[in-house]
Amino acid sequence: MKALVISGGKSPSQELIYEELKDSSLLIAVDSGANALYNLGIAPDLILGDFDSIDKEVLEYFKAKDADIVKYPPEKDLTDSEIAINLLIERNYDEIVLLGCTGSRMDHFLGNLGLLKKCLLRKVKATIKDDNNSIFVTDRPLTLQGRPKQIISFQAFGDEIPNFTIKNARYPLNNYNLKIGDSLTVSNEFIEGPMSIEFEKGYVLVIYAKD
């Protein structure tokens, strides 16, 4: 089962929301993520958060529509997005797409990246998407699909990645010890056919990006 979560960062485009809704069985709005849905006339299955940033008229509108609304205290140990993730893990969702998780608040964005690893450790496929990026974390070698010249980047997500190898790419790489912040693996490109990455251990951040 796939769930779609709309958080309160940069609002995703209508096209992106509708594309992700096609195969989603649950739509959660996290706090002001409900604003984006309200503007598109889309009703979420659940709205949750401390409601410090949702527009009052939006909240009242969904209340009048008898939406499922769960309010949390503003002083809490978890972000609203992590509360949503925990709920979905408890409900045994095996795929989660997070929209509205990028934007001006870099502290929130870094915390949201951490949620990707949390999901991975619980065997849940999780991806952060916006209109320019698709981001996920892997702990194992992968075969990756993409169009020729499509941009993809890799970063160590924590400890050094021993013997990181990229095959069938514009810029192949062989047995490189990849460190966090390493610019060597930024802006690689697909060529004809799938690309593959191999490594011994650790967590790799995979970023499909476009301008």
Element (H, E) at 138: strand 133-138
In whole angstroms, give the CA distance from residue 79 to residue 100: 14
- CATH code of 2-131, in short, is 3.40.50.10240
pLDDT at position 65: 84
Ranges of residues in the chain with a pLDDT under 50 are none
Whether domain 139-209 has CATH 2.60.120.320: yes
- Asked whether the beta carbons of 146 and 152 are under 8 A apart, the reply is yes
pLDDT at position 104: 86
CATH fold match for the domains 2-131 and 139-209:
no
* pLDDT tens-digit readout, 142-177: 999 999 999 999 999 999 999 999 999 999 999 999
- In this prediction the pTM is 0.94
Q: Exposed/middle/buried for 166, CB within 10 Å: 0-12, 13-18, 19+? A: buried
Domain boundaries, the chain: 2-131, 139-209
pLDDT at position 173: 98
